[in-house]
C-alpha cells in the first residue's frame, strides 16, 4: 500500500469513529492544562486527573502557584511519577509565567518552550488544544503508533515523527490527529500487546500485514 493511501484511509476511519477526539486531561483554562500536561509526563491521565483538583483549588492561578512552597506543591503531587522534578518544573513555570507573561499562557512555541518543564511535546499540546493550531504533539503513543501503522518510516526521534506526520496530514486535521493516535495507542494499539483483532484500521496497518497474520 502506498503511504498516501494509508494516510487517507486511516484518517477517514478515525474521522468516523472518533469525530470529537480530545484530551482526556481535565482542565478549565489554559493554565490548568499546562500544569496537567507537565504532570502527565510518564504518568497516566487518570492519575493526573486525581491529583489536579486539590492542586487547582489551592492554587487557581500562576501567581498563586508561584507563591507556594516546594513542600506544599510536592505534598499535593507526590503520587505522580517524578514528583521532585515536577515540583521544580511547576515552581519555575509558575514564576516565569507570572513575571514574564503576566500569568497568561503564551501562544508561541518559542515562548512556551522557554518555560521550565515545557518541552516541544507539551508546547504543541497547548498550541493545538488551547489555540487550535496545526501542531502535532508527539508522545510515546504517537511515536509508537505512527511507526507501527506505517505512517512514518524508520523515524528515530519525536521531531522527525512530528515533521512527517504534519507533512502528510491535512493541516485542518492535524490537531485532531494527535488525539486519534494517542487514544488508539492507549486503548487498542498497546505497546506490549496490540489488540490487532479488535483494530478498526488493521487492514491498512503495516504491522498487521507483516506480523499479526503470521
Any idea which residues carry the catalytic annotation?
Answer: 121, 139
Contact 33, 25 (CB under 8 A): yes
Helix (H, G, I), strand (E, B) or coil at 195: coil
Three-class SS of 68-116 = CCHHHHHHHHCCCCCHHHHHHHHHHHHHHHHHHHCCCCCCCHHHHHCCC
Contact 56, 32 (CB under 8 A): yes
Residue at grid coordinates 498497546: 190
Amino acid at each position: 500500500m502506498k503511504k498516501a493511501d494509508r494516510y487517507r484511509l486511516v484518517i477517514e476511519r478515525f474521522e468516523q469513529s472518533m469525530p470529537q477526539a480530545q484530551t482526556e486531561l481535565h482542565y478549565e483554562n489554559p493554565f490548568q492544562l499546562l500544569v496537567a500536561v507537565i504532570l502527565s509526563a510518564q504518568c497516566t491521565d487518570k492519575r493526573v486527573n486525581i491529583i489536579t483538583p486539590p492542586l487547582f483549588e489551592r492554587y487557581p492561578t500562576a501567581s498563586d502557584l508561584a507563591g507556594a512552597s516546594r513542600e506544599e506543591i510536592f505534598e499535593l503531587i507526590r503520587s505522580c511519577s517524578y514528583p521532585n522534578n515536577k515540583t521544580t518544573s511547576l515552581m519555575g513555570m509558575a514564576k516565569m509565567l507570572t513575571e514574564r507573561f503576566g500569568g497568561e499562557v503564551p501562544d508561541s512555541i518559542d515562548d512556551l518552550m522557554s518555560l521550565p518543564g515545557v518541552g516541544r511535546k507539551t508546547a504543541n499540546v497547548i498550541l493545538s488544544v488551547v489555540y487550535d493550531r496545526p501542531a502535532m504533539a508527539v508522545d510515546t503513543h504517537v511515536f509508537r503508533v505512527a511507526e507501527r501503522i506505517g505512517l512514518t518510516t524508520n523515524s528515530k526521534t519525536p521531531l522527525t515523527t512530528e515533521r512527517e506526520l504534519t507533512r502528510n496530514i491535512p493541516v485542518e486535521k492535524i490537531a485532531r490527529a494527535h488525539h486519534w493516535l494517542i487514544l488508539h495507542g492507549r486503548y487498542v494499539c498497546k505497546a506490549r500487546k496490540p489488540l490487532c483483532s479488535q483494530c478498526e484500521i488493521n487492514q491498512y496497518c503495516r504491522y498487521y500485514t507483516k506480523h499479526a497474520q503470521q
